[in-house]
A and B are shown apart, each in its own frame.
Chain A
Amino acid sequence: MFDSIFQNLFNALQWGSFYSLIALGYTLVYGVLRLINFAHGDIFMVGAYIAFFLSIFFFKGDLALSGSTTLVLVIPLTMILTSICGVTLERIAYRPLRRKGANRLYVVITALMCGLILENGNLAFLGASRKSFPELIDKVVYQFGPISMTNLKIGVVLSSIIVFFILNAFITKTKIGMAMRAISYDKFAIPLMGIPIDTIIVVTFVLGSSLAGLAGILFAMSYPVLDPFMGALIGWKAFIAAVVGGIGDIKGAFVGGFLLGIVEIMAVAVFPSTFRDLIAFSILLMILVVKPTGLFGIAKSTKI
């Protein structure tokens, strides 16, 4: 009984890592722009596809590099290419609206639509056949007593934790990171401090999208079947995780992601697996009704 709990907990940590990595991207953009970047889940999907094509190119192509060399090349390249995708979206879709001073709502709708375009564009141009991701590293199973862990799962959990600490250091220690935090309080003071607002926004999208790209690679390696809609549901869930943590706060997103992973895996352990979404969403709904600002969010007082 206990064994299966620990085993499940470990699996939950792995899912939590995916959610956390994606949730961080939502929360970063929200913290800076007060924008729900609904296309973020699909950026994750784009990341997974980029990783797929790069791996095929290096691993299966004429180069025929070894699996580990491929991985070392694919990780940074995917992160870079995915962030280019994210920044492009910001440039062509969100920025013009922001320049016009459009209602925040219109930007949110634009983001939602961009997500649909990415999903269905992928489906229309790459076809409905699912892509299976090549196995880049050999699977090693470690037994810790009754719990079995694979090197891949450990890698996933560790990288999400490491990423979180690097990100945390970045936004608390560097000048641009502090500007990112400050911008949500006062949009007008930041340019006075000598950092152009657009630079900060671009950096935010680069960070968020590259994390989504990283999550894309890790996810594709763990669950090696890709389809164009893989980002939709996981994206929505990661977003809910970010909100439950208190959107805008990176600690909240990180914890919220793991919490969602644990809730889901525990739900599946007790109920049939089709109940997974139902229970996860119901619990999250209840948390939001009780504490509408999320776990780490601070209620803003309304002024008259």
Chain B
Amino acid sequence: MKKLSIPLLLALIAVGTVLAAHFELLDLYIQTVIMFVGVNIILSSSFNIINGYMGEFACGHAGFMAVGAYVTSVLNLMLFTKSKAFGPPLLSPDLALYFFPVTLILGGIAAAITGLIVAVPSFKTRDDYLAIITLAANFIIVSLFINMDIVGGARGLMGMKQIIFAMEDIVFIPWMLIWVFTFTYLTVFIIRRFVTSTYGKGIIAIHQDEIAAEIMSVNTDKMKLVAFMLSSGLAGVAGGLFAHILGYINPNSFGILKSTECLVMVYMGGMGSLSGSIIAAILFTLLIEGLRFIIPAADTLIHYLPLIPDTFHLSQVLKWVIIPLILVILMQFRPEGIMGNRELSDFFPKLKRFYVFK
């Protein structure tokens, strides 16, 4: 029973949400928010491999997300839809449902290979120089897509909703929600198993003392390669999901701001804490979406009181003042993040009675 408690709970949440969505108990906006929570969990927990467990300071996660998003979208558009850029569908749209996870994984693999441009320099450099390399990689990837006319250049790429429609034509259930749940679980599962194996603990050894790790038999170059490729590959999967949730993508949505979002989530949750990353991703998404309503409400409130001139309105941009401010304050008072490098079960040892994580 203990072995099954977590999977059962998770399955219950997923099935419950999907059913609620199917019988239109959840409106589309709430569904989208739930899916963004999933994507953000994948992003933050995969970024945590590098910035948390391995202790590097990479700041270009969104670049890999972009690669995954574009590769998955282009593959799907090419295979299953009629579009101006890619011509008639190569396969019957009936197959979209079965190939969708495959294209997502292919997007992830493409992103993992792109991860090499960051992984290889990381053999020799650390810290600030690596930060720059990752940053430059992010800029390079984004401007590559801007200059690629076939995928729409700076205007972006659209039409991915048709793939969802093709899937829904076969069986009418909220497919995207199902895929997001599946891949979010899979990501957390893989990362959890990786970092608790002696193999994966090699990257924690690199974090704590890289020279000792190399001399005490850890192949640090290989471990860095594995860590960067795993992390960027999972970011690519997140990108593929993101593209199909929105139905369109644009190179500029994968810029430094998106990478900063990933940084915020990782450090908010705690370096090297998987449950921290998940909690932070949930809180962060809810915060962003919550501010969408809080800011106009606050605006109305302060206009009741004659504090500021009528011409001035609190804008949605304030969101991007509030979120960094939260992180600045967090760094001052709890720099190790919400969870530190501990997991939920370290804080509440009683939880262990109810489950085993294998």
Contacts and interface: CB of A to CB of B under 8 A. Distances in A.
Q: Do chains A and B touch in the complex (CB under 8 A)?
A: yes
Identify whether the interface residues of B are mostly helix, strand, loop, or mixed.
helix
Given A36-B128, A302-B211, A304-B211, A292 B121 contact: yes
A97 B330 CA distance: 11
A212 interface: no
A124 B211 contact: no
Interface in B102-159: 117, 120-121, 124-125, 128-129, 131-133, 135-137, 139-140, 143-144, 146-147, 154
Nearest to B135: A236
A114 interface: yes
A266 to B, nearest CB: 17
A116 interface: yes
Interface string B299-329: 0000000000000001101111101110110
B260 interface: yes
Given A239-B132, A247-B128, A109 B267 contact: yes
Given A36-B131, A108-B57, A124-B317, A274 B147 contact: yes
Nearest to A124: B317
A274 B143 contact: yes
Contact of B143 (A102, A106, A240, A277): A277
B147 A278 contact: yes
B132 A277 contact: no
A110 B331 contact: yes
B139 A236 contact: yes
Interface stretch (A47-55, A79-87, A189-197, A280-288): A280-288
B328 A117 contact: yes
A97 B320 CA distance: 22
A96 B329 CA distance: 11
Contacts of B49: none
B129 A281 contact: no
Interface string A78-116: 000000000000000100110000110111111011101
Interface string A262-290: 00000000001011011001101100110
The 5 nearest A-B residue pairs measured at CB: A113-B324, A120-B320, A278-B143, A116-B324, A124-B317
Given A97-B332, A278-B143, 5 more contacts: A106-B267, A110-B331, A243-B129, A277-B139, A289-B133
